[in-house]
Chains A and B, each alone.
Chain A
Amino acid sequence: KAGVTQTPRYLIKTRGQQVTLSCSPISGHRSVSWYQQTPGQGLQFLFEYFSETQRNKGNFPGRFSGRQFSNSRSEMNVSTLELGDSALYLCASSWGTGTYEQYFGPGTRLTVT
């Protein structure tokens, strides 16, 4: 069974721009969670989607948003990029919401200059 895939793997953007990251969960998994990983803050929860609905949200500004499609694929968007948004963005899938055995993708490395 294929694992979680994320595209693109690397991205360089300029302050003020926006970016969209994509995540395809493991086949059969319906929940996708997004995390931001930085050296200073570690892994922090952004949000979770299940059945095309955002179920939970972490403490991030409204510039961070996401969505989920009917095939469970998910995208996250960051608008008006700031230097501090430079991070590894990870998505994790699980079979259902409230299921914490989550499987992570390789991440998208975002660099904001």
Chain B
Amino acid sequence: GESVGLHLPTLSVQEGDNSIINCAYSNSASDYFIWYKQESGKGPQFIIDIRSNMDKRQGQRVTVLLNKTVKHLSLQIAATQPGDSAVYFCAEKDDYKLSFGAGTTVTVRA
């Protein structure tokens, strides 16, 4: 089975609020993680990555947090906008490939 998964399949967020999307992984040896965003009809879009020697990494309106102790990864989106509506996947470096979680569908309410 997959070693990477997301806690919730769906998330509804009010426009302007912050979003937090969670992901749990099972392989404690994993050293690289990526968050992808997939909009309807499109391929996954790279958002941000983080290596296991970091706890936090920030991008434009996004922050990824890595808690290796509990094998947990989260993506925070600040001031969520309608364009943030999509499916979000976390991916884990799994030997020679990326292993993806099932995804969380984020819906932004106006």
Contact = CB atoms under 8 A, between A and B. Distances in A.
A104 B103 contact: no
A75 interface: no
Contacts of A105: 43
B97 A58 contact: yes
Contacts of B93: 100
A25 interface: no
Contacts, number: 51
B28 to A, nearest CB: 18
A105 B41 CA distance: 11
A106 B38 CA distance: 10
Interface stretch (A14-22, A42-50, A65-73, A78-86): A42-50
B43 A107 contact: yes
Interface string B81-102: 0000000010101001111111
A102 B42 contact: no
B43 A106 contact: yes
Nearest to B101: A42
A90 B97 CA distance: 14
Query: Which of B2, B32, B36, B43: most chain A CB closer than 10 A?
Result: B43
Taking residues whose C-beta sits less than 8 angstroms from the other chain, chain A's interface range is 20 to 34
Nearest to B95: A56
Nearest to B92: A100
Contacts of B100: 42-44
A45 to B, nearest CB: 4
A33 B97 contact: yes
B43 A98 contact: no
Contact of A90 (B34, B44, B96, B103): B44
Contacts of A48: 96-97
Interface of A: 4, 6, 33, 42-45, 48, 55-56, 58, 90, 92, 98, 100-107
Query: Lowest 6 CB-CB distances: which A-B pairs, in order?
Result: A104-B43, A43-B100, A45-B97, A56-B96, A104-B44, A106-B43
6 contacts: A42-B101, A42-B103, A90-B44, A100-B32, A100-B49, A101-B34
